């Protein structure tokens, strides 16, 4: 975020709220997931990184119990106002639910939030892009409340309360991948997280002559939440059927071979495919981290391709837009691998591209996408950045 933009936001804050003497500034990133998709809520590994594109917040305490919110992204809505006593009242489709949810969760965990505040938010993450604008906002609110009310919430707890907001207030059964990546991100480091134990390892991102290019389908993702919850439910049923004979708590405890030997317990073809993705993707993620650390980007790229194929055929969360981007990318010269990232059903894909080839890569993939899908994709070169923080 440029100092120029921050200055502009401060002026806006004053214009909107009429008082700006004690503003504090905060930033919360978006994330990409390198590999390990739809494994988090199946007790497996994920390998994400925070990116420098994110959400900026300017906040200030105020006397009384009134909370006032303004989003630069939804300026047509104007000022949103409510009382601290009204935080349980959700408003269908409004971003204020993220603020209310985080307050409810923090208060529920015993933290004292007893005053109103003014908050201006500016998000740079393209909406519904699968780069996790919602977790970015949850953690932004988390660090703001932590700072304004001197709560000293341990970072892991803040991350978990972000996930709780998503699960219990927003109503999406998401795992912890997004909030963890956003809360614990570090410049030029990826995070290998075991979602079962929450043990994690920071892994330096050394790409040499290569860059990660984010490719945005720009597809509006209307059904994402219901489809996501459907996959969550399908893998739960598959697990329950396996548990009739196997002593396991999550799908990720199985090796590929153990899974293959027990598919008869699941029975249903669709459920077998869903569970196979979870098990195989977890195995891939563990191998991917090893080859990544060893600097074998070629092998890493192959695993990215295999991940996409599995998400397409077994988990069925891709669609024509993501498939066109990832599969066209995979065929380009100077590309080691490509896959969708995040929940799927639209949103973004990533590709590991030789830096000097990025321009020709974007042209070739962009042209093909336009031809097949009918509207243009967008491309950004990913910079790996820090997690949520006060600026
Ligand atoms: C979304 C969810 F929020 C994550 O928890 C994760 O399941 C991801 O989809 C798929 O890997 O981003």
Residue at 299 is within a domain: no
In ligand 1, which atom is closest to the CA atom of 33? Answer: 11
Which of 167-176, 238-247, 309-318 is least confident? Answer: 167-176
Q: What is the mean pLDDT of the chain?
A: 96
The boundaries of the domain holding residue 132 are 3-204
pLDDT for residue 98 is more than 70 = yes
Could you tell me if residue 173 is inside a domain?
yes
Residue 132 CA: which ligand 1 atom is closest? Answer: 12
Q: Where is pLDDT greater, at 172 or 149?
A: 149
Average pLDDT over residues 77-104: 96
Which of 175, 182, 235 maximizes ligand 1 atoms within 8 Å of its Cβ, making it the mutation to test the pocket? 175
pLDDT value of position 223? 55
Q: Is residue 44 part of a domain?
A: yes
Which residue among the candidates 146, 178, 314, 323 is catalytic per the annotation?
Answer: 178
Distance 235 CA to ligand 1 centre (A): 14
- Ligand 1, atom 7, lies closest to the CA of 38
Position 226 scores a pLDDT of 79
| Any domain includes 64 | yes
pLDDT higher than threshold 70 for residue 221: no
| The predicted structure's pLDDT at residue 222 | 60
306: in domain: no
Task: For the chain, give the secondary structure using H, E and C.
Answer: CCHHHHHHHHHHHHHHHCCCCCCEEEEEEEEEECCCCCCHHHCCEECEEEEEEEEEEEEEEECCCEEEEEECCCHHHCCEEEEHHHCCCCCCCCCHHHHHHHHHHHHHCCCCCCCEEEEEEEECCCCCCCCCHHHHHHHHHHHHHHHHCCCCCCHHHHHHHHHHHHHHHHCCCCCCHHHHHHHHCECCEEEEEECCCCCEEEEECCCCCEEEEEEECCCCCCCHHHHHHHHHHHHHHHHHHHHCCCCCCCHHHCCHHHHHCCHHHHCCHHHHHHHHHHHHHHHHHHHHHHHHHCCCHHHHHHHHHHHHHHHHHCCCCCCHHHHHHHHHHHHCCCEEEEEEECCCCCCEEEEEEEHHHHHHHHHHHHHHHHHHHCCCCEEEECCECCCCEEC
Number of domains in the chain: 1
ipTM value: 0.99
Answer yes or no: is 89 within a domain.
Answer: yes
Is 317 part of a structural domain of the chain? no
pLDDT given at position 3: 84
CA of 293 to the centre of ligand 1 (A): 24
pLDDT for res 220:
73
| Candidate of 129, 178, 195 to mutate for ligand 1, largest count of ligand atoms within 8 Å of Cβ | 178
CATH of the domain at 40: 3.30.230.10
Residue 98 Cα to ligand 1 middle (Å): 17
Taking 80 as the threshold, does the pLDDT of residue 17 lie above it? Answer: yes
- pLDDT-derived band of residue 261, with 50, 70 and 90 as boundaries? very high
| Percent of the chain predicted with pLDDT > 90 | 92
Residue ID of nearest Cα to ligand 1 atom 9:
343
309 in a structural domain: no
Check if 178 is active-site. yes
pLDDT of residue 260: 98
Q: What is the structure's pLDDT at 298?
A: 98
């Amino acid at each position: 975020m440029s100092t120029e933009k921050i200055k502009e936001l401060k002026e806006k804050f004053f214009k909107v709220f009429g008082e700006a003497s004690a503003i504090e500034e905060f930033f919360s990133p978006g994330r990409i997931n390198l590999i390990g998709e739809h494994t988090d809520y199946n007790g497996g590994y994920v390998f994400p990184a925070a990116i420098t594109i994110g959400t900026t917040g300017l906040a200030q305490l105020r006397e009384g119990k009134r909370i006032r919110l303004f989003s630069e992204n939804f300026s047509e809505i104007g000022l949103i106002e409510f009382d601290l006593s009204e935080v349980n009242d959700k408003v269908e489709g409004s971003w204020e639910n993220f603020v209310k949810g985080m307050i409810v969760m923090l208060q529920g965990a015993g933290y004292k939030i007893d005053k109103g505040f003014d908050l201006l938010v500016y998000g740079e993450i393209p909406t519904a892009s699968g780069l996790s604008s919602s977790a970015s906002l949850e953690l932004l609110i988390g660090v703001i409340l932590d700072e304004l009310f001197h709560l000293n919430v341990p970072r892991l707890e803040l991350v978990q309360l972000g996930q709780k907001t998503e699960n219990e207030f927003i109503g999406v059964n998401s795992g912890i991948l997004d909030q963890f990546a956003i809360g614990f991100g570090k410049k030029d480091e990826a995070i290998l997280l075991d979602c079962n134990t929450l043990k994690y390892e920071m892994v330096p991102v050394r790409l040499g002559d290569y860059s990660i290019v984010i490719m945005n389908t720009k597809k509006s993702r209307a059904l994402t939440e219901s489809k996501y919850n459907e996959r969550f439910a399908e893998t739960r049923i598959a697990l329950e059927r396996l548990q009739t004979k196997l002593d396991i708590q999550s799908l990720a405890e199985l090796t590929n071979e153990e899974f293959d030997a027990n598919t008869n317990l699941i029975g249903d073809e669709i459920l077998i495919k869903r569970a196979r993705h979870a098990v195989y993707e977890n195995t891939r993620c563990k191998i991917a981290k090893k080859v990544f650390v060893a600097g074998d980007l070629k092998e890493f790229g192959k695993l990215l391709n295999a991940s996409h194929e599995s998400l397409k055929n077994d988990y069925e969360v891709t669609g024509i837009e993501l498939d066109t981007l990832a599969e066209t990318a995979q065929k380009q010269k100077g590309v080691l691998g490509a896959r969708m990232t995040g929940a799927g059903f639209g949103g973004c894909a990533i590709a590991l591209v030789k830096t000097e080839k990025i321009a020709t890569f974007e042209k070739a993939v962009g042209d093909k996408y336009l031809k097949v899908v009918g509207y243009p994709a967008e491309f950004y070169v990913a910079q790996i950045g820090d997690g949520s923080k006060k600026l």
